[in-house]
Structure 1
């Protein structure tokens, strides 16, 4: 795989090292963004899946008796218990990596009607769209004030795409839009303008998997559930401010962490701030 930049490839700056522990669907995961020198890593294994995107240089390692070379922008993956090393290119490199339990991938595979823990024969994948989704998810998680619901939704989308594209021995499913699922999920979102709604709650309401809910709502509205619901909450906050409610109270009434959180969200989507709406 070439290290040349591919069309549409994202840009990730070299980090200082960052680490975060988070929960996805109730299961503990660890995220690491780190740069390495030319040191070589001894042979080791992970208890869960290790999935990462190389953000600079190249990660070269021995995996299942093969030499794997993963350039910038591609994914590296090691399954639980598989012994491997690293840093064999003897060059500086960095990656954005997540360690996650096998039970999480098994649950997401079940969402798309697959049975068991997915297996991946290769240790590296050159798949820009998968890499972009994984980077988007993990960068959300590393933000010091990350939105839990947005992170969970991004996790489902990134990991399900990886399973559908690269897990061995499974059909590449393409689930059609489901009007009933979208309708039930959207009803709950419209009825809950005062707080974020968990993806698990939406799935239970619609009687469908998390993945199917994301697909159905996206097909119906053009936005995934979290982004669509954020728009509803912003509109509700705007209405409250326009009738004279203080901004901090409007933020609390629509499930934002504080006034600054509401301000950032509104400016990013409408180009104005809550202060510009205040009745004078």
Structure 2
């Protein structure tokens, strides 16, 4: 079960409340800065350099844009809430540099005194509060997160080497993003001047995903934007090159943890 709400005052703001009982997410990344709170149950966060992290009620998870992750229930029901927001906007609210710890890697903060701030932020979006009210609430939450001592459970960082790889892989990623069909690995490798083995290894190192998985993630990110803008589900599936609506439904659900219909609202 999942419910979504988009702020009318700040359209890039999206809040969700979810309750899941079965594994529902494959590794994926958002194009937004995300802050979540575990309300009930236990789950496992994967995608961290130090290995999977077991989450418990009260944990706060901070995920910058582009960071590959997956979080699934460990045993029984798991309930959480999360807010996605434009990362540049969030940075402007904090007045911090992009290198601030909050924006360079996944963080898990085991500080239960932060819970009320996260709940207040989610409630403000679901209540469709005014822009000044929402901005003040989120700014206060971000400043509290910034003030947390650096002793975090885990931080996943994008290294300089990975950043350099992204530059080399740019033609590959553009081809994956724009091509309506799945390009052959040999063609993609040629664009980067690599062997197919080197390409797969480089993509995983730079993005956390294989070329095909990265393409699927990019299409679902775009699908979320189209659905939020009111585009029909069938049209969205066709525009993004999915074989049919059923295929789109299956892939979307494994990335978003909800059907396209539930997400579109």
Q: TM-score, normalised by structure 1?
A: 0.47
Q: Which has the larger radius of gyration?
A: 1
Tell which has more relative contact order, 1 or 2 (C-alpha 8 A, sep 6+): 2
